[in-house]
Structure 1
């Protein structure tokens, strides 16, 4: 298991990839289909999946130029599910991050996809950055980011012993 799985990585588990390859091969030789989805990355695969769930009678073709799915950006990301902490409160990005994270973890649980919720440690590297860190915390609260917490020096050391704590 990778240290942390992103939504993209989770969709490309062995069983999912094999099933999606079969779909691609089955429909590749059709002359006519209802929908063509271009790209076998996270967005294309999520679109194809949603189409099959919402419209089971439609035929579709997934077009991918590479020999494997997620060969480009979707397969080379940092594995982070964004919380929404950085975005303007109430913005579309903030709302989508918060709801998307919840949907991702629900999906992982329903499909028994292993993941590790390792979190993210955001630190102020000097005293001047502390007010910005506190503002970021308040922004995250306004965006309803889950599991957001200001940590003490001891809690930081427990989570990341190599992070040198000067002031908190």
Structure 2
């Protein structure tokens, strides 16, 4: 039943709200981020689900619409920072496309900490991000996943979510 709900939710996002090749649909990106949060678990939950956006991105405005909602029994709190040194210890760190070059610094500063790092730029899951987005040839949005990195960070992701990934390592 849980797999069916997950599949339906992600299929609806992928097909009903497909991203256009030249226009980024940040609403769809934000839905993916929230669904990743729903089907993940951290070693410690403190009643809040902190999502931080590194850099300027319209996804911040879309994620703000989730502020105060409940995900996995925790209240969603969304914030935005402009540089790596301002990152506290969120549950999810979303790296905007314009800040993709900071991934190495982010990985160093959050090494071993239970943070899901999601990159807007394609392919960064191979360089240490937990997830990165990819726009397919048919303009649908998908994600790639780095299960090895998530395991190092003690983050458990539903096997059903992992099975829906475009690519995984």
Same fold judged by TM-score > 0.5?
no
TM-score (norm 1): 0.23
TM-score (norm 2): 0.23
